[in-house]
Amino acid sequence: MKKKDYKKELDSALSNNFLRSAMEKFAVAYRDSRTNVFSTMDVDGLIETIANSKDKSICKIEQMFESFKTSAEKKGIKVHLAKDAKAANQIILEIAKNGGVKSIVKSKSMTSEEIRLNHYLEDYGIEVIETDLGEWIIQLRNEGPSHMVMPAIHLSKEQVTELFSDVTGETLDPDIQTLVKVARKELRDKYLTADMGISGANFAIAETGTIGIVTNEGNARLVTTLPKIHVALVGLEKIVPDLDSALDILNILPKNATGQNITSYVTWITGSNECYAATDNRKEIHIVFLDNGRMEMSKNSDFAEVLRCIRCGACANVCPVYRMVGGHGLGHIYIGAIGLILTFFFHGTENAESLVQNCINCGACKDVCAAGIDLPGVIKKVQSKIIEDKGKTLSSSLLSKILLNRNFFHRLLKAARVAQKPLVGKEGFLRHLPLIVSKDHNFRALPKIADRSFRDMWEDIKYKLENPELKVSVFAGCLQDFVYPEHLISAIEILKSENVQVSFSEGQSCCGLPLEMMGDSNASKNLAKQNIDGFALENSHYILTLCGSCGSFLKKYSDKLTENPKNPDYKDKAKLFSEKIILLSDLLFNVLKLSENDFDEKAAKVLFHSSCHAGRGLKISNEPRELITKAGYKYVETTEENTCCGFGGTYSGKFPNISSNILEMKMNSYEGKGDILVTECPGCVLQLTGGFAKKDSTIEVKHLSEILCKGSLK
């Protein structure tokens, strides 16, 4: 889809009131029920078990298939391997033709959506009825699913009522219980008369040739019982070695999907079962495994982890972008973070190109993934691959040229400071947006570039301690260096009073995250090298950052630079560099151990926003909250503290309308609850300050360093 058309689709989702309220309720309810259902469990341990067991299976996927095939065929099941969508469709059509099949009942299978099986079979005159309620609804509407587990979550009961009134020829009331009974009645006959049942499978157990199907409605049981033929369409990644591995997945799948302890039904089918509708009372069972690029993926070290996915859909449930636009806006057939990735592999660059850009990189999905997939990381790799395949886009190559030339970049920022002068208003915001930025960006006030950058002020700030307790080198980061130098200055004041020697190296530049976000991984590696060269590592105990985003990316330098054998020199340096990176709150709370005694009691009520890359990226969660309390403020806890603010660096430039809607939701969660909103990332400060300024709110947004300083220190 063209970028322009895609943006139109997103705008239409953003203006769909029912969708917006349904998504909002779901996001909040899911978060609570997931927390409840895992309350007494070691979730991280479970996730690790699944990741390890899946990885073992993925690297011997062919062997696992052979072993499943042997076990299942011994028991009268025919096992097929389809290399792609077309082959799978043909195999299933052939089975249907041989069995004289006229009508098929189907239970839910995302894999069948992947290959568009229904359309294929219908083109050959076979009736295919989806029996999962949500799937039946979207089939009747000729739509695709908008969630992997709840495919019709985008529709209102009024829309379903209208649809079912057409089906039954009666005028129905918009009552959900009635509508469900309509489905029960209408579909019951279909089960009883169908010639073939098609299901998916959540597990294929190699040891015994068993498939396992997880459902709530009970339709898979009927689909696999009544008709004389059963075809299960299964992605190759669903093969597990044994029952115990399947039970481990079952332990987390429903909990992570919907916050349910377990689904109503789990059905385990082994061998050709008793079936009165079949000749000789034995059901004809076919299991069609779908490759469609999975084998190749399993051999690619960048993408093999994608095959760990157990299709729980949690990555969509927690995604702030999904919360704004729903699944049709954030997926092609597969939805959510995993959908962005799978679309590229299964449905091509054309369908993935615009879609894969729509990740705000907040890491919420990675945090809940049942199989521990680094979803944002893989999305970045897909973006890079698309860029490599097609040649760079203008904006990313221009950005990489600018950022890689530090002197030029800094001159450009200084020139921009002069150029912006006629536009700057009294409060230090830009009055009108420069023409280069479109009106879509007007949802928040933009800050001006500071009169003097931090690096220009450094000569005046620097100091020399006789016997410092600790030596810290500061990584300024673009935003704080050029827009918010006051954050850095406040931090240095605190550190100086704690007998910490702070130094600053001029040779440093941008951390490289903006380039990574544009999918330009090579350019960001070059920036990493520049920064490592720019620091005298041996002279400091820590490299301090006041930005969660810079911090989490600087921490990744070691991973980024160790993988390239061409740069043996950087391997050790990068490791040392990354190890020394520390976020301000981590330094103050865990290393310097600031206590209540260092501060006075204050009256202000402080709200908190956990920057995504500080909270989820660097796992710094308690530290800033504790510091707020220790500094004598009244910390007021709110519900969306850990939700992304909608900034996402370059994301807010690419998708301003989504960014502004996420910001609105965030601001609403704080309004009227406190005086100062504190965070530990200048990007979040920019987004939130700009948003509140536009609303004339009384809430002041501050970087953590600013509230810990300003004379608050005794």
Partner 1 sequence: MQTKVNYIAEFVNNAEKVSAVVSKKRTMDEAVLYCIELCNQNNQKSIAVPNILLAKLFKTKHKVLSDDIYDERANIDIGFTLCDHGIANTGTLVLNSSNEKTRIATMLCDIHVAVVKESTVVQNAKALSETLKDGMNENSDYTAFITGASRTADIERTLAIGVHGPLELHIIVLEGS
**Which member of 252, 266, 352, 362 binds partner 1 (CB under 8 A)?**
266
**Which member of 111, 112, 210, 705 binds partner 1 (CB under 8 A)?**
210
Size of the chain in residues: 714
User: Is residue 33 close enough to count as binding partner 1 by CB under 8 A?
Assistant: no
Query: Whole-angstrom Cα distance, residue 509 to residue 505?
Result: 10
User: Is residue 155 close enough to count as binding partner 1 by CB under 8 A?
Assistant: yes
User: How are strands ordered across the β-sheet holding 605-608?
Assistant: 634-635, 605-608, 676-679, 700-703
User: Is residue 258 close enough to count as binding partner 1 by CB under 8 A?
Assistant: yes
**Which member of 152, 196, 483, 561 binds partner 1 (CB under 8 A)?**
152
Collect all residues with Cβ–Cβ distance below 8 Å to 206 and sequence separation of at least 6.
64, 67, 68, 71, 239, 240, 241, 242
By CB under 8 A, what part of segment 275-314 binds partner 1?
A: 275-276
By CB under 8 A, what part of segment 235-254 binds partner 1?
A: 242-244, 247, 250-251
**Which member of 22, 61, 129, 399 binds partner 1 (CB under 8 A)?**
22
Query: Whole-angstrom Cα distance, residue 390 to residue 367?
Result: 31
By CB under 8 A, what part of segment 312-341 binds partner 1?
A: none
Residue 714's CB: how many other CB atoms inside 10 A? 8
Nearest to 699 by CA among 630, 638, 621: 638
Query: Whole-angstrom Cα distance, residue 240 to residue 49?
Result: 13
Looking at the chain, the number of H-run helices and the number of E-run strands are: 35, 18
**Which member of 133, 201, 234, 547 binds partner 1 (CB under 8 A)?**
133
Would you say 275 or 373 has its CB closer to partner 1?
275
Nearest to 513 by CA among 543, 487, 488, 549: 549
The single-letter code of the amino acid at 561 is L
Instruction: Give the nearest distance from C-beta 65 to partner 1 in angstroms.
Output: 18
User: Is residue 187 close enough to count as binding partner 1 by CB under 8 A?
Assistant: yes
Is the CB of residue 563 less than 8 Å from the CB of residue 697? no
CA 316 to mean position of chain CA atoms: 7
**DSSP code of 507?**
T
**Which member of 83, 184, 411, 432 binds partner 1 (CB under 8 A)?**
184
Q: Which residue has the tokens 């079979």?
A: 121
User: Is residue 547 close enough to count as binding partner 1 by CB under 8 A?
Assistant: no
As given in the structure block, the two tokens for residue 245 are 């591995």
What is the three-class DSSP state of 277?
coil
User: Is residue 428 close enough to count as binding partner 1 by CB under 8 A?
Assistant: no
Would you say 175 or 596 has its CB closer to partner 1?
175
Collect all residues with Cβ–Cβ distance below 8 Å to 389 and sequence separation of at least 6.
349
Of the candidate spans 271-279, 512-520, 651-659, 699-707, the one that interacts with partner 1 by CB under 8 A turns out to be 271-279
**Which member of 271, 468, 534, 632 binds partner 1 (CB under 8 A)?**
271
What is the three-class DSSP state of 504?
strand
Instruction: Give the nearest distance from C-beta 409 to partner 1 in angstroms.
Output: 48
**Which member of 85, 205, 645, 677 binds partner 1 (CB under 8 A)?**
205
Would you say 272 or 358 has its CB closer to partner 1?
272
User: Is residue 160 close enough to count as binding partner 1 by CB under 8 A?
Assistant: yes
User: Is residue 36 close enough to count as binding partner 1 by CB under 8 A?
Assistant: no
User: Is residue 179 close enough to count as binding partner 1 by CB under 8 A?
Assistant: yes
CA 91 to mean position of chain CA atoms: 35
Instruction: Give the nearest distance from C-beta 537 to partner 1 in angstroms.
Output: 49
Of the candidate spans 68-76, 300-308, 370-378, 616-624, the one that interacts with partner 1 by CB under 8 A turns out to be 68-76
Query: Whole-angstrom Cα distance, residue 449 to residue 424?
Result: 9
User: Is residue 269 close enough to count as binding partner 1 by CB under 8 A?
Assistant: yes
Query: Whole-angstrom Cα distance, residue 220 to residue 213?
Result: 7
User: Is residue 17 close enough to count as binding partner 1 by CB under 8 A?
Assistant: no
User: Is residue 208 close enough to count as binding partner 1 by CB under 8 A?
Assistant: yes
Residues binding partner 1 (CB under 8 A): 22, 25-26, 29, 74-76, 131-134, 137, 150-153, 155-157, 160, 176-177, 179-181, 183-184, 187-188, 191-192, 205, 207-208, 210, 216-219, 221-222, 225-226, 242-244, 247, 250-251, 258, 261-276
